[in-house]
């Protein structure tokens, strides 16, 4: 049984990042949008904040993994602006943690969403993934 720390509803973490060329839509294959924050970059920042919030308190050998994600990217943010992500705990049931996320730039809210994460044993997760990879190769010509 995992001894998961208790996360209280309302606990939160905030991170910030200045939008660079690597964060723009064109970097993710979106044609001419070379000065706007890409939705995948926004998602990555939200996941980073959630992971920092949860994983920083986990026992040695445990990590959190995403189960479900839903976001809305409401407004564009341009190259050079600062994006702020706030991730808050909504609920926890044993090793299942529900989070809410908000994203802001200098102009206001640019997005929001929900993320569900599970706390798991990292070694067992990697062993299971390796077993599945091997079983998927059986009978396949490489």
Numbered residues of the known binding site: 66, 117
Which residues define the annotated binding site for CoA? 66
Cα separation of 119 and 6, whole Å? 12
SS3 (DSSP) at 32 = coil
CA-CA distance, 132 to 125, in Å (whole number)? Answer: 11
Q: Which residues are annotated as a binding site for substrate?
A: 66, 117
C-alpha to C-alpha distance for 110 and 87, rounded to whole angstroms: 14
**Beta strands per DSSP E along the chain:** 12-18, 62-73, 82-93, 96-105, 108-121
Beta bridge partners of 14: 86
């Amino acid at each position: 049984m995992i001894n998961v720390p208790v996360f209280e509803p309302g606990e939160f973490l905030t991170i910030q990042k200045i939008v660079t060329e690597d964060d723009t839509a064109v970097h993710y294959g979106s044609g001419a949008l070379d000065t706007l924050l890409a939705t995948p970059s926004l998602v990555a920042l939200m996941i980073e904040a959630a992971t920092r919030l949860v994983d920083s308190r986990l026992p040695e050998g445990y990590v959190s993994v995403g189960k479900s994600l839903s976001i809305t990217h409401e407004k564009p943010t341009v190259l050079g602006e600062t994006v702020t992500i706030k991730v808050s705990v909504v609920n926890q049931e044993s090793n299942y943690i529900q989070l809410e996320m908000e994203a802001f730039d200098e102009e206001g809210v640019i997005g929001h969403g929900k993320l569900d994460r599970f706390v798991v044993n990292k070694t067992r997760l990697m062993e299971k993934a390796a077993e599945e990879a091997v079983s998927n190769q059986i009978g396949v010509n490489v």
